[in-house]
Amino acid sequence: MATASGNQFEWQLFNGREWVSILNDFVIEAHYCQPGANGITINLDMGPAYIDFDEMTVDSLDYFSIRRNTLLSYNQKEVMGWYYKDNHRWCEYGSQGSDGRSSLIKSDFIEQKYNSNPRGSVQFAVGTMSYKVDFTAMSQTNLSTHMSRKVRRRPKFNEVVTGSSIQNRSTTLVSPSANPTNSSSQHIWEFMGDEGIWTEYQKPECSLDSAEIERLYQLNPQCQVSFTARRFSYTLYFSGMYQLNNKYGTKRAVRRIASGIQQTNSTLPPAHWQFMDMDGQWKDYKKGGSRGYCSVSSQDIEAQYQQDSTGTLRFRAGRFNYELDFSDMTQTNLSTNTSRSVRRIQP
């Protein structure tokens, strides 16, 4: 689908009660699609507000969350550009930098790797130098000199591929077969909810229900699906069988099961996650609902830990961003570098 103006996008602000569409949001979109744009100031009823494109936050007293929805048909896909900041300007991968050299990889290759694992990385070479692009840190590092540069992923303004033109893009949906299998009623889709409970995708809490997800899965079991649930936007990755919170990067396991089988809806092994607070007491990770809330619960952390027990998880609590390191069992405030101990408790 598309907006009334024909756009493939929609920008919305959350005012503490509901998501509200922004009029003339093509101005925001035009700026957002420029890789060098850090953000934009817009005029609201209560005054000017600054949108930070990297953090996807709003500097305003009343509006404190923002999101960008993509409004595309099942066989459409945005064209994404990947850029790095050289000494003078933002350059797209595959184009010539200010030093006259260009990388052999292009945006579509990096996008393919990103869709396969949004928390992973990709390595490539330019001449005799090797580089690594880290999707979590959104940075490029020279593996010889260890020089780091910023990286950005931005859509190209109103560029959408449709139908047969996306057949060669592994992360997009393909056209249905002549005789598609009608199994939407034979399978259901569930995500790992709070407290380890498998929960079916259902409307109106979620913009997609189990049957719609199954239909998209039948079209291409390797694609990705965008949806919203309450005031957050998510991406469901069929290839990895997980969903990702697009704002905070938290991951939850997903499963597809035959609708006739007995549900094992009790719990996962009830591992419990805690951090050492300033008062020397162990405190539970709890997902709250106010401005100062933590973006992850103990179960969210456990789901990520099950995916990669030696990796890291980034989350937000209050006005700070943190990184939880499963190898060191620590959490670090990314602004102050304060580190606290973390523990995983199994009964």
Predicted confidence (pLDDT) per residue in 35-44, tens digit: 999 998 888 7
Does 184 score more than 50 pLDDT? no
Beta bridge partners of 332: 323, 339
Residue type, 273: W
pLDDT at 137: 92
Which CATH number does 272-345 carry? 3.30.720.50
Chain centre to alpha carbon of residue 295: 13
Instruction: Evaluate whether 195 touches 186 at the Cβ level (below 8 Å).
Output: no
Does 133 score more than 90 pLDDT? yes
Spatial distance between the Cα atoms of 116 and 331, rounded to a whole number of angstroms: 26
Query: What is the residue-wise DSSP string for 229-251?
Result: ETTEEEEEETTTTEEEETTT--E
In this structure, what are the phi and psi dihedrals at residue 54, rounded to the nearest 5 degrees? -75, -45
Interval 209-240: pLDDT, tens: 888 888 888 877 777 788 888 778 888 888 88
CATH among 3.40.50.740, 3.30.720.50, 3.40.50.1970, 3.10.510.20 for 184-258: 3.30.720.50
CB atoms within 10 A of CB 227: 19
The DSSP output letter for 287 is B
What's the predicted TM-score (pTM) here? 0.49
pLDDT at 266: 44
Outline where the chain has alpha helix (H): 26-32, 107-116, 210-219, 298-307
In this structure, what are the phi and psi dihedrals at residue 20, rounded to the nearest 5 degrees? -120, 130
Domains 184-258 and 272-345 share a fold: yes
Where do the domains of the chain lie?
9-70, 76-158, 184-258, 272-345
In the chain, the N- to C-terminal Cα span, in Å, equals 49
Instruction: Evaluate whether 50 touches 39 at the Cβ level (below 8 Å).
Output: yes
Half-sphere exposure (Cβ direction) of 32: Cα atoms closer than 13 Å = 25
**CA-atom Rg of the chain in angstroms:** 21
Counting residues of the chain whose pLDDT is more than 70, the rounded percentage is: 81
Q: How confident is the model at residue 143 (pLDDT cuts 50, 70, 90)?
A: very high
Which CATH number does 76-158 carry? 3.30.720.50
